[in-house]
Chain A
Amino acid sequence: MRVCSQWTEKGFIMKSIQCAHKKKALVEMSAQIIFTACASFAILAVVSITLYMILSGTPAIFEVGLPEILFNTRWSPTSQDPQYGILWVILTSVVGTFLAILIGVPIGILTAVFLAEVAPRKLAAAVKPAVELLAGIPSVIYGLLGIYLLNPLMYRLEQIIFKGSATHQFVGGANLLSAVLVLAVMILPTVINISETAIRAVPVHIKSASLALGASHMQTIFKSILPAARSGIVTAIVLGVGRAIGEAMAITLVSGGSVNIPLPFHSVKFLTTAVVSEMGYAEGTHRRVLFTIGLVLFVFIMLINVILNRILKGSGEKRGE
C-alpha cells in the first residue's frame, strides 16, 4: 500500500486503478489459497489419522509378534504371564456384525419398501421422521436401554435354555446376543434411508412394465424393483456393516466384557469395546496392544471404505453409459 501513497498528480487515475486492481488481485489470490487450504484439510486429517494409527499400532506387533497377537486366543494382559491373543476379539466383531446385519438388513429393506412403495403418502410422511429420529439417538442411550431392559430378558432366556446345564457359565444376560440385537437396531436408520433412496430412484418404466405384464404389486417389488435397486441396497448394507463394526459405547456394557468364543450366550469383547473398557487403566505392552486392536479395526474400516468406493464408482459408471 506504500506505493499507493506516492501518487503524483499526473498519473493519479492510472495508478489508483492499477493499485486497486493489484489489491483486488491480492484478495482474490488469498481467498483462493485459503479455500484450497480448507479443502485440503480433509486430506491432512485422513493422512495423519492413518499415520498415527499405524505408528501407534505397530510397536506391539514387533514386541509380541504378529501371530501371537492375531492367532492366539488367550487374552490375559494383566496376569503374571501376560497373553495378548485377540483372535476371539476379532471373531466377535466379525460374527457380531454379521449377525446384526442378518437381523437388521431384512427389517430395514422391508421398511424401506414400505416407505417407498406400500405406505399411503400420509403414513410414510409420519414414519419417515421417526426413522430419522432413530438415527439421532445417542449411542449411550441404546446402551442404557440394552443393559436395563434387554439384559434381564436375556438372563431369563438364558436360565430357560441352559436349565440344568453343568457346563454353561451364566453371565446375567450380558452376552453376544444382546449386543447383536442392539447393533441390529442401530443400523436400521442407515439401511432404511439409503435403501429407500435407491428404491425411489428405480425408473418408473421398470415398475410399469412389470405390472403391465401381469405381475402383482408384490411380485413387481421383489422381482423387478429390488433387483433394479441392487447397487443402492448393497451400499446400504456396506454402510450398515461399517456402523456396526465401529460401534463402541452402546455395546460395551451390554456385551458382558470378557474375552470368549463368540457364541450367542457368551460374555464377549468386541474390538471396539476392548479399547473402550481397557484403555483407561492399561499400561506398557497392554496399552500398545490396545492400539494394535485399534489398528485392526482401522484396517477393517478402510477395507469397507474401499469396497464402498468401488460400488459407488461402479454404479456411477453404469448410470453414465
Chain B
Amino acid sequence: MLAKTKKKARPTDKLLLAAIYGSAGIAVLLLLGMIGFVFFKGIRVVNWQFLTTVKSVLRGTVGIAGNIVNTLYLVVITLFIATPLGVGAAIYLNEYAKPGKLVSAIEFTTETLSGIPSIIFGLFGMIFFVEALGLGASVLSGSLTMALMVLPLITRNTQEALRTVPESYRTGALGMGATKWHMIRTILLPSSMPGIVTGVILAVGRIVGESAALLYTAGSGYQLPRLTGDFLGNLKALVSKATVEGGSLTVELYLRMSNAEYDIAFGIGCVLLVIVLAINLLTKLAAKKLKAVG
C-alpha cells in the first residue's frame, strides 16, 4: 500500500515487478498446461474396459486393472506397517522423550530419511528385502520399502498434531489420576486424529506417485488375483498376490512409455492425476478439521 503513494515508480521497479508476475505466471501456467494436456490426451483412452481388464494379447485388451489392484495392495500394506510406527515415534518424541542424544539422533535420522531420494530406497529395498530377506521382487518387498519412505511423513504430521493439543488436556487428565498411557489413548490420540489422518493421506499420495523405489522391489506384474470361488481359495489367492511381482500404476506407465505406447501411458497418467487431485482435496479437508480442533 505504501509503495503506491510514491510519486513515480522507478523503471527497475517495474522490471522487477514484471519478473515477479512473470515467474508466478510461468509456475501456474505450467501446472495448468501439464494437467490439462494429460487429461486431454488421456481421457480418450480411459473407459470402463481400460479400468477393469488386464493386458492380454489373446483377448486384445490393454486394461490396467491389475496395476490398480497392485497399487491398492501397496497402499494398504505400507500404511499397515508405517502408520503404527510413525504414530508411535511421534508419541515418543512429543510425550516421553527428554531432550538428549537419543532424541537428536531420532530427529536427525527422521530428517535424513525424508531427504533420501527414492532410487536409493529402491536400491536398499532390492538388496535387503528382495535379496537378503529372500522376499523376492514382490508387492510385499515394495510395501516394506515404501514404509521406510513414508515413515517421516506420518511421524512429522502426528507430531505437529500432538503439539496443537493444549497442555491443559494433559495436566487435566493426569491430575484426575489417569495414567500416561490412558491419557494418550483417550485424550491425545482422539484430539490429534485429523493430523494423523493428514499424514496418512499424504503418505497415500506418496505411495501412489512413487515409481523409482518400486521398479526393482515390487517389479512389474500386472495380473489380477485368481479368484476361485470358495472362501479359503479366495483368501489364499488374495494373500499370495502380495508375495508375487506387481507393478504399480506408475511403474506400468513408465514401462509403457519406454515402449513408446504413449496413448496408454497418458491414459494411466490421467487415472493417476485423478487420484492425486482427490488426495489433495482430502488433505485440505483434513487440514481444515485440524484447524477447527486446534
Question: Interface of A with B (CB < 8 Å)?
Answer: 24, 27-28, 31-32, 34-43, 45-49, 52-53, 56, 106-108, 110-111, 113-115, 118-119, 127, 129-134, 136-145, 147-149, 185, 188, 192, 211, 216-222, 239, 242-243, 245-249, 252-253, 272, 275-276, 279-280, 291, 294, 297-298, 301-302, 304-305, 308-309
B77 touches A (CB below 8 Å):
no
Given A42-B89, A137-B209, A216 contacting B13 (CB threshold 8 A)? yes
Partner of A138, one of B23, B32, B210: B210
Residues from chain B with Cβ under 8 Å of A111 in the complex: 20, 23-24, 26-27
Within 8 A of A (CB), among B18-32: 19-24, 26-28, 30-32
Let me know if A245 and B13 touch, CB within 8 A: no
Inter-chain contacts of A37 with B (CB < 8 A): 88
The smallest beta-carbon distance between B200 and chain A, in angstroms, is 15
Q: Which residues of the partner chain A approach B257 to less than 8 Å between Cβ atoms? A: 140, 143-144, 147, 253
A sample of 17 inter-chain contacts (CB < 8 A) reads: A38-B84, A41-B151, A46-B109, A111-B26, A130-B32, A131-B31, A137-B35, A138-B272, A138-B276, A140-B211, A140-B253, A141-B34, A246-B120, A249-B250, A279-B216, A297-B119, A301-B116
* Contact indicator A188/B27 (Cβ below 8 Å): yes
Complex interface: chain A residues within 8 A of B123 (CB): 53, 56, 275, 279, 291, 294
Give me 17 other A-B pairs in contact (C-beta within 8 A), A140-B211, A141-B34, A246-B118 excluded: A39-B92, A41-B89, A45-B113, A48-B124, A52-B132, A108-B27, A110-B19, A111-B23, A119-B24, A132-B280, A140-B254, A141-B253, A144-B38, A144-B253, A220-B3, A297-B120, A305-B112
Q: Which 6 A-B pairs have the closest CB atoms?
A: A246-B117, A38-B88, A217-B3, A138-B209, A110-B23, A39-B92
B128 near A42 with CB under 8 A, answer no
Question: Are A309 and B111 in contact, with the CB atoms below 8 A?
Answer: yes
Give CA–CA (A249, B254) in the complex, Å: 8
User: How long is the Cα–Cα vector from A220 to B2 in the complex, in angstroms?
Assistant: 11
**Given B6, B23, B109, B216, which contacts A106 in the complex, CB threshold below 8 Å?**
B23
Given contacts A35-B96, A40-B106, contact A272 B212 (CB under 8 A): yes
Distance in Å from the Cβ of B41 to the closest Cβ of chain A? 8
Measured in the bound complex, the distance between the Cα atoms of B280 and A149 in whole Å is 26
B180 at the binding interface (Cβ < 8 Å): yes
**CA of A155 to CA of B252 in the docked complex: distance in angstroms?**
27
B179 at interface (Cβ–Cβ under 8 A)? yes
B269 within 8 A of A: yes
Residues of A within 8 A of B88 (CB): 34-35, 37-39
Chain B interfacial positions (CB closer than 8 Å to A): 2-3, 6, 9-10, 12-13, 16-17, 19-24, 26-28, 30-32, 34-35, 37-38, 41, 84-89, 91-93, 95-97, 102, 105-106, 108-113, 115-121, 123-124, 126-128, 132, 148, 151-152, 155, 179-181, 184, 205, 208-212, 215-216, 250, 253-254, 257-258, 262, 265-266, 269, 272-273, 276-277, 279-280, 284
- Per DSSP, chain A at the interface is helix
Q: Does A133 lie within 8 Å of B280, measured CB to CB?
A: yes
User: Which residues of chain A come closer than 8 Å to B212, judged between CB atoms?
Assistant: 139, 248-249, 272, 276
Which of A35, A119, A188, A248 touches B119 (beta carbons < 8 Å)?
A248
Max chain B C-beta neighbours (<10 A), residue from A114, A239, A243, A304: A114
- Specify which chain B residues have a CB less than 8 angstroms from the CB of A34 in the assembled complex: 88
The answer on a CB contact under 8 Å between B89 and A39 is: yes
- Contact: A137 with B113, CB < 8 Å? no
- Determine how close the nearest CB of chain B comes to the CB of A123; give it in whole angstroms: 9
